[in-house]
């Protein structure tokens, strides 16, 4: 009986803990209640916009011609709360090309959602609607000025960045100048590539998990233990 | 495309309710202070 009770408590804890946190949105799916402007304005007073979710997944692929490449799949959703946030209707993706080694962007999709009464209207944006800027020093950017962006709009973007630059794995920015509700980065790393990871800044991560050896030797396991302690204290 | 099999490790980092960091009068470049994870290739086995 005691064992059963312990199992019940443990499973409740695991099911409700942030370790099981699901992404906060499904790309392309939204309801009018997800666009409740007053809710966001009350929770984040004075903020021009709020990033609802910023999620990156990095994996390594092998191409017969180009060898190993990393692919980052990013999903991003933001809500505009006032006029100052309209600048977030402009979106850029920087990429680097140099002497036969490339980064490119593929599978770009974006939506702008607006509420008309209780009805959600969607404006679709495709990659061909963007334009390319040369930023110098081999850097370029794919830029979009999203249409139909107004106060209350929800903008979501999804794309993949494919890169030959294995020595320069893209960094992941958890913090922005506006609040972020859920920021997440995942890497599926083949055992023959070893990277050092370091977090710069002033925030603590809420979840640090790996299914094998820690990427920062001697650190991640301790941080997982710390997280578990913190959860037990709640 | 060729299939390559290798042991891999899945890493996951998540932050919830991250406050916005505002530019202040003596901040030189806000990008230097925003919490960011950096990766550096140590070696290829």
A196-206 residue pLDDT tens? 999 999 999 99
What does the longest C-alpha to C-alpha distance in chain A come to? 69
| Partner B contacted by A145 (CB < 8 A) | no
Residue of A nearest to B30 (CA): A177
Contact B39 A190 (CB under 8 A): no
| pLDDT tens digits, one per residue of A105-136 | 999 999 999 999 889 999 999 999 999 999 99
- pLDDT of B25 reads 86
In the predicted model, what is the mean pLDDT of chain A?
A: 85
Closest CA to B18 of A180, A104, A90: A180
Partner residue facing B35 (CB), from A193, A199, A211: A199
> What ranges do the domains of chain A cover?
5-229
- If one compares A67 and A175, the residue with the highest pLDDT of the two is A175
Q: Tokens at residue A137, please?
A: 């020093």
- Which helix or strand (DSSP H or E) is residue A227 part of? helix A220-233
| pLDDT tens digits, one per residue of A7-27 | 555 555 444 455 557 788 999
CB contacts of B19 in chain A (<8 Å) are 175, 179, 203
Candidates B1, B30, B33, B37, partner chain A, best to mutate (most A CBs within 10 A):
B37
Closest CA to B40 of A174, A191, A189, A198: A198
Contact B14 A183 (CB under 8 A): yes
- Which helix or strand (DSSP H or E) is residue A224 part of? helix A220-233
- In 3-state terms, what secondary structure has residue A44? coil
Residue A167: pLDDT above 80? yes
Q: CA of A57, closest CA in chain B: separation in Å?
A: 9
Residue A43: pLDDT above 60? yes
Partner residue facing B18 (CB), from A183, A185, A188: A183
- In 3-state terms, what secondary structure has residue A103? strand
ipTM entry: 0.88
Q: Is A169 exposed, middle or buried (0-12, 13-18, 19+ CB in 10 A)?
A: buried
Q: How many CB pairs under 8 A join A and B?
A: 175
| Partner B contacted by A96 (CB < 8 A) | no
How far apart, in whole angstroms, are the C-alpha atoms of residue A162 and residue A160? Answer: 6
Looking at CATH, the fold of the domain delimited by A5-229 is given as: Immunoglobulin-like (2.60.40)
Partner residue facing B6 (CB), from A169, A181, A191: A191
- pLDDT of A19 reads 54
How far apart, in whole angstroms, are the C-alpha atoms of residue A109 and residue A7? Answer: 44
Kindly report the pTM of this predicted structure.
0.83
Q: What is the CA radius of gyration of chain A?
A: 20
DSSP-based helix, strand, coil % in chain A, nearest 5: 25, 45, 30
Residue of B nearest to A181 (CA): B17
Closest CA to A190 of B4, B7, B3: B7
Of A169-183, B2-16, B17-31, the one with minimum mean pLDDT is B2-16
Q: Tokens at residue A32, please?
A: 């009018």
| Percentage with pLDDT > 70 across chain A | 81
How far apart, in whole angstroms, are the C-alpha atoms of residue A2 and residue A102? Answer: 60
| pLDDT tens digits, one per residue of A56-96 | 999 998 888 888 899 999 999 999 999 999 999 999 999 99
Closest CA to A146 of A112, A105, A107, A108: A112
Q: Tokens at residue A80, please?
A: 């505009």
């Amino acid at each position: 009986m005691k064992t059963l009770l312990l199992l019940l408590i443990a499973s409740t804890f695991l099911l409700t803990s942030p370790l099981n946190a699901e992404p906060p949105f499904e790309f392309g799916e939204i309801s009018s209640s997800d666009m409740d402007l007053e809710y966001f304005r009350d929770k984040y007073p004075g903020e021009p916009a709020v990033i609802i979710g910023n999620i990156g997944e990095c994996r390594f692929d092998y191409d017969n011609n180009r060898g190993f490449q990393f692919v980052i799949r990013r999903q991003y959703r933001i809500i505009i709360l006032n006029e100052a946030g309209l600048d977030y209707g402009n979106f850029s993706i920087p990429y680097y090309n140099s002497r036969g080694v490339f980064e490119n962007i593929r599978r770009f999709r974006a939506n702008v959602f607006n509420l008309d009464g209780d009805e959600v209207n969607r404006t679709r944006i495709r990659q061909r609607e963007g334009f390319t800027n040369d930023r110098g020093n081999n850097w370029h950017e794919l830029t979009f000025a999203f249409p139909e962006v107004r106060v209350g709009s929800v903008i979501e973007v999804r794309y993949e960045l494919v890169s030959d630059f294995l020595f320069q794995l893209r960094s992941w920015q958890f913090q922005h100048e506006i609040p972020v509700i859920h920021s997440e980065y995942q890497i599926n790393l083949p055992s023959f590539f070893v990277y050092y990871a370091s977090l710069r800044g002033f925030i603590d991560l809420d979840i640090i998990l790996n299914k094998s050896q820690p990427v920062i030797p001697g650190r991640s396991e301790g941080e997982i233990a710390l997280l578990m302690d913190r959860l037990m204290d709640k | 495309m060729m299939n390559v099999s290798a042991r891999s490790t899945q890493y996951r980092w998540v932050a919830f309710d991250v406050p916005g960091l505002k530019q202040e009068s003596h901040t030189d470049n806000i990008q230097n202070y925003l919490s960011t994870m950096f990766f550096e290739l140590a070696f290829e086995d």
